[in-house]
Amino acid sequence: MDLPLPVLLSTGHLYAVTGAALVGLGLYAFITLRHPLRQLLAVNVVGAGIFLILGGLGRGPDATDPFPQALVITGIVVAVALTAFGAAMIVRQAQTRAAAKPAADDNENPAP
């Protein structure tokens, strides 16, 4: 699969290459970072990269194919929902920790 430079630099492929870079970046962040919120963000970066690839490579020669676009839109909806869900869980976890901490610190009055 050796692509000639012009093809590579066409709009679609530019999107795709950018997307790939985003995926790589996100993945790197996901591997190296531990905090769930950062991981969630990293995943979102990956997701953005994937949608770029989908939109860029799947647009066909004349960029009028509705099919990839439908996919991208659906994908974004799903991603947003999941991100919201994950964020909610992270918040809940932080709250639980915050509630548990003082209880652990002073033994006088354990949290109910």
Partner 1 sequence: MTADLTLLLPLTVLWPMLLAGLALLPGWGPRMVMFLPLGPLPALAAALFAPRDTPVALPGVLLDGGLELTATGAIFLGGAAVLWFWAGVYAADYLRRDSRPAAFALFWNLVLAGNLGVVIAADIVSFYVFFAQVSLLAYPLVIHDRKPASMRAGTVYLVLAVLGEVAILVGLMLASHGAGGAIGIEAVRAALALPSTHPAALGLLIAGFGIKAGLMPLHVWLPVAHPAAPVPASAVLSGAIVKAGIFGMVALLPLGTPAAVAGNLLTILGFSGLFLAALLAVGQAGAKSVLAYSTVSQMGLVMGVLGVALAAGSAPATVLPAVALFALHHGLAKGALFLGVGLAPLCGRGWRWGLMAVLAVLGLSLVGMPLLAGALVKSAMKDPAGALGATLIGLSALTTALAMARYLAVLPTAKPRRRPPLLMALPFLALAGAALWLPWLLYADVTGKSPLAADLASKLAEAWPLGLAVLLIAGAVAVGLKPPTLPEGDALGPVQRRAAALTAAARAALRAGSRSLHRSRPKPQIVIGEDLDRIEDIFREGAAAAILVLAITGAVVAASLI
Partner 2 sequence: MSPLDLLMAAPLGFMAAALMLGPSGRWLILLAAPLMAGLALWLALLPPDAAYLVGQWDLPLGILLRADGVARLMILATALVIGAVGLHALAEPPEKPGHAAQAETFWPLVYLMWAGANAGFLTTDLFNLYVTLEMVSLAAVALAAMGSLAAALRYFMIALLGSLAYLLGVALTVARYDTVDVILLAQVAEADLATLLALGLMTAGLLIKAALFPMHGWLPPAHAAAPAPASALLSAIAVKLGFVILVRLWFEAFAAVTGPAALHVLGGLGAAAVIYGSIQAMRQDRLKPLVAYSTVAQVGYLFLAFPLVAGTVEPSGAWAGMTLHGVAHMLAKAAMFLAAGLMLKAVAGDRIADLGGLAQAMPLTVTAFGLAVVSLMGLPPSGGFTAKFLLLSAAIEQGAFLYAGVLVIGGLLAAVYLFRALSACFAPLAGAGPDTASRGPVTGGVQAVAPLALAGLAIVMGFAGTALVDVSAIEAPWATPTVIQPEAAP
Between 10 and 75, whose beta carbon lies closer to partner 2?
75
For partner 1, the closer of residues 53 and 59 by Cβ is 53
Could you give the CA distance from residue 39 to residue 2 in angstroms, rounded to a whole number?
A: 34
- DSSP code for 10: S
Task: Tell me the angle at which helices 66-105 and 36-57 cross, rounded to the nearest 10 degrees.
Answer: 180
Question: Is residue 37 involved in binding partner 1 (CB under 8 A)?
Answer: no
Per DSSP, the residues of 52-66 read HHHHHHTTTTTS--H
Least distance (Å) between residue 14 CB and partner 2: 14
Task: Give me the DSSP letters along 16-29.
Answer: HHHHHHHHHHHHHH
Measured from the CB of residue 39, what is the shortest distance to partner 1 in angstroms? 6
Nearer Cβ to partner 1, position 16 or 43?
A: 43
Q: Could you tell me the smallest distance in angstroms from the CB atom of residue 20 to partner 2? A: 9
Question: Does the footprint of partner 1 cover residue 48 (CB under 8 A)?
Answer: no
Task: List residues binding partner 1 (CB under 8 A).
Answer: 27, 30-32, 39
